Amino acid sequence: MRALVVDETGEGAVFRMADVPQPLRVQDEVLVRVVAAGVNPIDRKTKLGRGVSAAIPSYPAILGLDFAGVVEEVPYAAHPLKVGDRVYGMGRVPRMTGTYAEVVSIPSMSVAPMPIGTGFVEAAGIPCAALTAWGAVVDVARAHDGQRMLIHAGAGGVGHFAVQLASYFGAQVTATGSPRNADFLRSLGAHRVIDHTSERFEEVAGEQDVVIDLIGNVIDDTGTRSLDVVRRGGLIVNVPTKSWPTMAEEAAARGVRATGFVVSPDARTLSVISRLVDDGAIRVHVDEVFRLEQGETAHARLGGGHVRGKLVLRVADDPT
């Protein structure tokens, strides 16, 4: 099969197209012919030698977590998923090969039917970002009516789902973003948008019950500054790994609860997200689509910032 691979990780790593063996389906896994694959920040971090790169067992390696495609093999005849089903989900790189490839073999508990009215490209942009947003906003922060929630980088991949989910569950959402994304964020359900290019959010946001921190201290000490807006006893959920190493100590000193978050590729939660997409309660925004062989360009675009929503790699034409 064709795949986009790297022969090493680190600053000098580059993608190349290669012919590699097709994965062998075993045990509960579902074999999926990939039509589109989402591009996520963790993919880029891993390529650059961070992320989960230390656990890559061998090279060439295939990256990519998100996929949307068509089922080719199932574990047994009476399995809920059938050959020909349109499915999507999230893999477990580097414990298995990634989704920047024509075929993947994925544990069945990480595969769900695609939302009914959503195409493959759009579906491929949902799993990792939406599951991360759900975990941070719903499972950890327990979004509810009247809760005051500040979401940093609200127009990004995780952020644009976080804003929608928080609003759906009744929270009063304040989001930080650039001026060009202000109307977009309001359309997602943000009650207030803070222009991070001209305003210091800690000076204008007011007291918040929860901060969903999708930046950390890697840019302008965003994490530490967030402590100035969280009420005593409130909560900060920091998502980007290793983006704020001193979070626990700083938050404890201010009487604020703090936790990181790591996403799980859970098809049960993804099925709930599918229903919300089908009902029109949330939506995915795909900013740009690249061909699989343009993976290097897609990662450069992601690294340059200013992506609204998601980037997606088209691996194959839609099946007829």
128: closest CA among 97, 92, 152, 95? 92
205 is a domain residue: yes
Neighbours of 204 (CB within 10 A): 12
SS3 label, residue 155 = coil
Q: What is the CATH number of the domain that holds 254?
A: 3.40.50.720
CA distance 131 to 43: 16
Q: Same domain for 65 and 160?
A: no
Token readout for 262 is 């790591």
Q: Which amino acid is at 177?
A: G
Q: In angstroms, rounded to a whole number, what is the distance separating the alpha carbons of residues 115 and 131?
A: 14
Q: 110 and 166: one domain?
A: no
Residue 279 belongs to a domain: no
**189 and 290 share a domain?**
no
Same domain for 148 and 98:
no
Helix-helix angle 127-134:267-278, to 10 degrees: 100
Tally of domains in the chain: 2
Does 143 share its domain with 67? Answer: no
> For position 105, which CATH number holds?
3.90.180.10
Q: Are residues 108 and 182 in the same domain?
A: no
Strand ranges inside 153-207, DSSP E = 172-177, 192-195
Q: Which residues constitute the domain of residue 37?
A: 2-126+284-314
- Section 276-301 average pLDDT: 98
Neighbour tally for 44: CB within 10 Å: 17
* Domain presence at residue 266: no
Asked if 157 and 239 sit in the same domain, the reply is: yes
289 occurs within a structural domain: yes
Reported as a single tens digit per residue, the pLDDT across 45-100 is 999 999 999 999 999 999 999 999 999 999 999 999 999 999 999 999 999 999 99
| Residue type at position 309 | G
| Percent of the chain whose pLDDT exceeds 70 | 100
pTM (2 d.p.): 0.97
Q: Is the dihedral of CA 86, 90, 94, 98 positive or negative?
A: positive
Query: What would the two tokens of residue 107 be?
Result: 């544990």
- Same structural domain for residues 141 and 207? yes
Residues 143 and 252 in one domain: yes
Q: Are residues 117 and 133 in the same domain?
A: no
- In the chain, the amino acid numbered 215 is I
Of 234, 184, 179, nearest to 206 by C-alpha is 234
Query: What is the tens place of the pLDDT at every residue in 129-167?
Result: 999 999 999 999 999 999 999 999 999 999 999 999 999
Domain membership flag for residue 134: yes
Rounded-to-integer distance, Cα 139 and Cα 133, Å: 9
204-255 pLDDT, tens digit each? 999 999 999 999 999 999 999 999 999 999 999 999 989 999 999 999 999 9
